[in-house]
Amino acid sequence: MEQCSSSGSYNYMINDEIIFNPDKRVLYRVDDEANVETLNTPTTKCFLLLISRNGIVDQATIYSYVWGENESMITPNNLYQNISLIRRALSKLSPGLNLIKTIPRIGFSIDTEIKVEKIPSEKVEYDESHERHENPIEVKKEPAPGVNVAPNDVVKNKMLHPMVIISLAVLTTIASALFVSSTSRQSSYFLSYHAYLNNDSCNIYTSVTTQRDIKFVTDKLISKCERTPWNYVSYSNLFSDISVISCAQPLGSNKKNSCKSAYFFVGS
């Protein structure tokens, strides 16, 4: 998943007031570079993954991307600590800013109502003398419960498409059944998704309206609709990738649910 590992030459402007520099691992205000929040490496990777998506990032994907082969040693508490550190840093720079949403028992997403702009780093001058050190989170080496950490099987799929080649498909299956509660936050979140296909046997929703050809993804989903008829497709505006959450029941319902996630890297 190194595609997200750092832009190298890009920063991210949040709400026209905060700059996130993933290479320097810092957040600072546009109008006050001396007001700096330094992130540790896992927290930086976690934030970069979230901010590069236009939709939900499930917990299994975060574990795999941020901690790699050590993901089995990471507890849910470690994950939530990192999310908390991001929120705390943003809050210090912009009180009241609620950029990261929690999707209960699924994962996290960036609030699509808040403007996030990818900008070349050369357009942003940053004085490194303002950086201050922060201690990394202590990671407790104990297995995480299966409901939060799923086995991360990597499948290389080079399906040719007229415009794009799927260079890698990362399929992560949630090991145990997910009980998705009907919370107002979760239900309202998915109300923003648009119906791409909606009938009695198969339902596909997308996080944004798009002219992008996603037939190579929807064909896969339709073929599996008998088992998982509810599918939620999310796009990244900053990177060329698509993620999918497929469920036996609609998300936000009060029925026992079983979900799995699929993640596609798309290249030309």
pLDDT, one tens digit per residue, over 68-119 is 888 888 888 999 999 999 999 999 999 999 999 998 888 999 998 899 999 9
Q: Edge to edge, what strands does the sheet with 100-103 contain?
A: 56-58, 107-110, 100-103
251, pLDDT greater than 60:
yes
| Residue 137 or 244, more confident | 244
Q: What is the pTM of this model?
A: 0.60
Whether residue 149 is predicted with pLDDT greater than 50 in this model: the reply is no
State the CATH class of domain 2-130.
mainly alpha
Give pLDDT, residue 265: 66
Rounded CA separation 262/214 (Å): 14
Q: Is the pLDDT of residue 212 over 50?
A: yes
pLDDT reported for residue 147: 33
* Spatial distance between the Cα atoms of 244 and 246, rounded to a whole number of angstroms: 6
Structure tokens at 242: 């698509």
DSSP letter at 199 equals S
> Which sequence spans correspond to the domains of the chain?
2-130, 152-267
CA distance 89 to 23: 17
Largest CA distance in the chain: 60
Give the confidence band of 213 by pLDDT, cuts at 50, 70, 90.
low
What would the two tokens of residue 41 be? Answer: 């490496």
Average pLDDT estimate for 140-156: 36
What is the rounded (10 degree) CA torsion for 66, 206, 223, 105?
50
251 vs 182, which has greater pLDDT? 251
Taking only the tens place, the pLDDT of each residue in 16-74 is: 999 999 999 999 999 998 999 999 999 999 999 999 876 788 888 899 889 988 888 88
Which residues lie below 8 Å from residue 234, measured CB to CB, with a gap of 6+?
A: 53, 54, 55, 56, 109, 206, 207, 242, 243, 244, 245
Quote the CA–CA distance of 67 and 45 in Å, as a whole number.
9
| Tokens 């998704």, residue located | 193
The reported pLDDT for the residue numbered 29 is 96
Residue, of 190 and 75, whose pLDDT is higher: 75
What average pLDDT does the chain have?
Answer: 74
Where does the pLDDT of residue 171 fall: very low under 50, low under 70, confident under 90, or very high at 90 and above? Answer: very low
- Reported in sequence order, the residue ranges of the chain that DSSP labels E, i.e. its strands, are 10-14, 18-21, 26-29, 32-38, 56-58, 100-103, 107-110, 116-120, 152-155, 165-173, 194-198, 203-206, 230-235, 241-247, 259-267
